[in-house]
Amino acid sequence: MDDADRQLLRRCRVQLVSELQVASLWDSLLNRELFTPRMIEDIQRAGSGSRHDQARQLIIDLETRGSRALPLFISCLEDTGQNSLASLLRTRSQAAQRDPEAVRPRDLMPVVVGPMGLKPEEPRTVKWDPGKLTPVVLGPEELCPATLHPEVLRPEVPRPGDIGSGSIRDVRAQETLRSNADLAYVMNADPCGYCLIINNVSFCPKSRLRIRTGSNIDCEKLQRRFRLLHFTVEAKCNLPAKQMVQALLELSRRDHAALDCCVVVILSHGCQASHLQFPGAVYGTDGCPVSIERIVNIFNGTSCPSLGGKPKLFFIQACGGEQKDHGFEVVSTFPEDRTPGSNPESDAAPFQDDPGHCDQPDAVSSLPTPSDIFVSYSTFPGFVSWRDPKRGSWYIETLDGIFEQWAHSEDLQSLLLRVANAVSEKGIYKQIPGCFNFLRKKLFFKT
């Protein structure tokens, strides 16, 4: 779904949730293949299972259903006699198509109130009502600190990351930046480079590590995504620690001279580990850990000279430890903060102070200063990383969706800021992705 349709749904959400009759919609949604039966079941289990909760979840999930989701949903409303809502969405969609700038939230400016008629003891300010898109003048009684409450950007409110994106001026600025070799990495090769995905799902019994159900979903998404980004993708499944290292060494020893980039993705259980540079370790299927530090340094200038000066990207979907983040209270929990019908699992395993019994210690005395390295972690060091057995991990699902929508126009750091913001809003337990960035320039994928 494009940004204009998404913003339209968010502006109309209050009315849609209030009036939508979901019971009559299920068959039409299935017939038009807008949702699968399993998705419908998840929506029906949302929150308390009330009409209100189901309607809210339906509108939220609709944003993920592709570029034709809005017109198909309008047709479903017409099929079920909900013509007033269908007319509302169709009219606003047509208006947005005629004049996109007229409805873009970033272009709305509050009325400037001059000093005339205002007494010093009667302060006034202007805020925007996101539901009505009209200014509301606040008097002194509404500005009293005793009555103010912190606000969280709910989906109905335009997010800072969405404001100012997509205009002609923004696109031109990005294109200028892409073409400046002093400010952005050159990504002209086709293919751009190799992408190796190590997907560990099943572990030996002695490791006492559970099957990572849902990881194959992550792997399939990533294979498709990086092929679309012009990488040669290779996936290896269920590797013990030594074979993981061997696969990484084999990749580092290839000739990358004609390529512009290299990507490594690790999907596995993980743990804390002693480190000097990059925290954490990931497990082979034999239960032996391989430190992230070692993985990254396999691709340093000594081991892989043909990647010198070129970006080397690492995406780690694994726990950083066993701590579960309950978050801190900002506002009361909303039903959409929970994934319907899900029972997320963690990729945690116990802390390993000395993983040398399975993994050779890193040689640190001769390591070069990191450059052109980017390591993206699914979670903060020391904390668990959540995975839904039916949908895959929170981090990979979100990363795939963000890349699909924004990789054509935004650099890697901006994309992962969006990922971090989206993942941080999920679930009862919380999770926040982060990164270690030693890139020298901005990186724009080839799309």
Q: What is the mean predicted confidence (pLDDT) over 241-266?
A: 96
**Phi-psi bin for 382: left (phi > 0), alpha (psi -120 to 50), beta?**
left
> Binning pLDDT at 50, 70 and 90, where does residue 277 land?
confident
Judge whether residue 362 has pLDDT over 70: no
Weakest mean pLDDT among 41-45, 136-140, 169-173, 185-189: 136-140
Question: Could you give the CA distance from residue 45 to residue 22 in angstroms, rounded to a whole number?
Answer: 13
pLDDT at 319: 72
Judge whether residue 144 has pLDDT over 70: no
pLDDT at 346: 52
Whole-number mean pLDDT of the chain? 76
Give percent above pLDDT 70 in the chain: 68
Judge whether residue 101 has pLDDT over 60: no
Q: Which residues contact 236 (CB under 8 A, 6 or more apart)?
A: 196, 197, 198, 199, 243, 247
The two three-digit tokens of residue 385, written as one number: 């990383």
> Binning pLDDT at 50, 70 and 90, where does residue 248 land?
very high
| pTM (predicted TM-score) | 0.55
pLDDT at 5: 86
Q: Exposed, middle or buried, 444 (CB in 10 Å: 0-12/13-18/19+)?
A: buried
Judge whether residue 411 has pLDDT over 80: yes
Active-site positions read: 269, 319
The two three-digit tokens of residue 393, written as one number: 């991990």
Weakest mean pLDDT among 148-162, 206-220, 250-264, 385-399: 148-162
pLDDT at 350: 44
> Binning pLDDT at 50, 70 and 90, where does residue 222 land?
very high
pLDDT at 44: 87
pLDDT at 287: 93
pLDDT at 381: 67
Q: What is the mean predicted confidence (pLDDT) over 368-381?
A: 78
Q: What is the mean predicted confidence (pLDDT) over 197-218?
A: 93
Q: Judging by DSSP bridges, how do beta strands 392-393 and 386-388 pair with one another? A: antiparallel
How do residues 327-348 score in pLDDT, each as one tens digit?
Answer: 444 443 434 444 445 556 655 4
How do residues 47-72 score in pLDDT, each as one tens digit?
Answer: 667 888 888 888 888 888 888 889 99
